[in-house]
Structure 1
Amino acid sequence: MANLLNRISEELAAIVARVRPSLVQIRHGPAGSPRGAAAGTIWHPEGLIVTNAHVVAGPRGRADVPLEVVLADGRTLPARILAQDASLDLAALRVSAHGLPAIPLADSRRLRPGELVLSLGFPWGVTGGATVGVVIGTGSELPELAHSGREWVAASLHLRPGHSGGPMLDSRGRLVGLNTLMNGPEVGVAVPVHVAVAFLKTHLGRSPAVPPPALV
């Protein structure tokens, strides 16, 4: 039993180490505090980043505050909002960078209750903070969640301020969702990745510069 737990622990740590370069920090303005920063997920190597709409809304909802993205290698780049949808809590950003490490996508519609998931972000400013749990449920029929009719992934993991916009991963390190909210202290909720794919297709079309990766 101990050997099994050790193997699982090592595999989870390896997934986190592999995916962390695809996690970015999003700040509002040059003086943005790391402690108050949220997360974003590299979607395409040519500078496309996906996060939550509430992350890009700015302090107290101000839209005039410039956004900065801090990459895992320490580079700080200005970011431009390409699209956002508050009803889905999704936003797409562009930074001027090339060869960024995007995360492979899984089909979030195939997630089952009990499957292991991990979430990364910047909880309270901690770089690449990870949390792990199991899927509680998916879809739009999750009665404890508000905003009925939206699709969700709910999991028994501890999302905290700063996790928003970061990746939720399956046990193979593939992207299954984007962290979006806490539902009490024990339930973390993500926007499923297939919803993000549809969002990008709707708002960015089929531009060859920003093709969403295929689900695998």
Structure 2
Amino acid sequence: GGVAGYVTGRDDAPAAAPASGAVPADLVAAAARALPGVVSVQAGNGSGSGFAFDDRGHIVTNNHVVAAGGPITVIGADGRRLTATLVGTDPSNDIAVLRVEGSANLPALPLADPRATRVGEPVLAVGSPLGLSGTVTAGIISAVDRPVRLGGTARRTAVQTDASINPGNSGGPLINARGEVIGVNTAIATLEGGGSIGIGFAVPIARARQVATDLINRG
């Protein structure tokens, strides 16, 4: 407002361009980059989201998405239904790794440098809230290293975001404006009645990557 007042108050100043209200182009590109590697996960009576971790068919999701047991199916952005096997779980960090055949060719999402994550930077939560696959919501990083309980009773640090996260987003990626994964969406704070109130949490990618790598190496 101050800038607009200054510009329009000068006789020799050019007219200010109208605000377009458009979503920044980098977020559009980030969403396009991430969506092909994000999947819906169905495990018994549970459901959530996940993303391709590497080019060998490994998919990262939340432990609580698959904890109920039963056959696991992942559904790609192109609608393909793929049978997945459970590689391993880490309940204390709420991380699980699945595997589909490498021939599925799910594009692995790039992982962010955790040292570059900053409070206030724009982010996108990608997943299947309420079964609506390929849903993207935008927000910012509200806090880093927020102590919360994820899975077990011990407190773990998490990335906090105000991007809308709802049931079904669990296990999906939280990405930055470059399309890089900065966290694994895992929990939300709610008031009576449930639903997103703009306080969501993601497992930081440094810890998620280490846990996933350990689970894969252990087979």
Alignment partner of 1:85 out of 64, 81, 90: 90
Identity score, percent? 37
**Number of the residue aligned with 1:6:** 22
How far residue 115 of structure 1 moved from its aligned partner, in angstroms, is 1.1
Read off the aligned partner of 1:191 and give its amino acid letter. Answer: V
- The corresponding residue for 1:41 is 51
Q: Which residue of 2 aligns with 1:173?
A: 179
If the length of structure 2 is used for normalisation, what is the TM-score?
Answer: 0.80
Give a deviation string over 1:73-123, Cα, whole Å, max 9, x none.
222111111110110000000111333211111022431211111101111
> How many residue pairs get matched?
193
Secondary structure (helix, strand or coil) at the match of 1:151 reads strand
Please say if residues 108 and 194 of structure 1, whose CA atoms lie closer than 8 Å, have aligned partners that are also in contact.
yes
Whether the aligned pair in 2 keeps the contact of 1:178 and 1:191 (CA below 8 Å) is: yes
Q: Secondary structure of the residue that 1:190 maps to in structure 2?
A: strand
For residues 37-186 of structure 1, the aligned pairs below 5 Å read 37-58=47-68, 63=69, 65-98=70-103, 99-139=105-145, 141-142=146-147, 145-146=148-149, 149-184=155-190, 185-186=197-198
Q: Please give the alpha-carbon distance, in whole angstroms, between the structure 1 residues aligned to 2:58 and 2:89.
A: 13
Distance 1:48 1:2, change over 3 A: farther
3-state SS, counterpart of residue 17 of structure 1: helix
Mapped to 1, the partners of 2:115 and 2:199 lie a distance apart of 19
TM-score (norm. length: structure 1): 0.81
- Give the C-alpha shift of residue 18 in structure 1: 2.3
1:24 matched to 2:29? The reply is no
Q: Is the 8 A contact 1:105 1:175 kept in 2?
A: yes
Say which one has the larger Rg. Answer: 2
CA contact (8 A) 1:109 1:194 kept: no
Rounded Cα–Cα distance in structure 2 between residues aligned with 1:109 and 1:203: 23
CA distance in 1, matches of 2:94, 2:212: 13
CA deviation vs aligned residue, 1:117-138 (integer Å, no higher than 9, x gap): 1101111111211111111111
2:97–2:216 contact (8 Å) kept in structure 1: no
CA distance 1:136–1:74, shift in 2 (3 Å): same
Offset, 1:148: 5.2
Aligned AA for 1:73? D
5+ long unaligned stretches in structure 2 = 1-16, 191-196
Q: CA RMSD in A?
A: 2.1
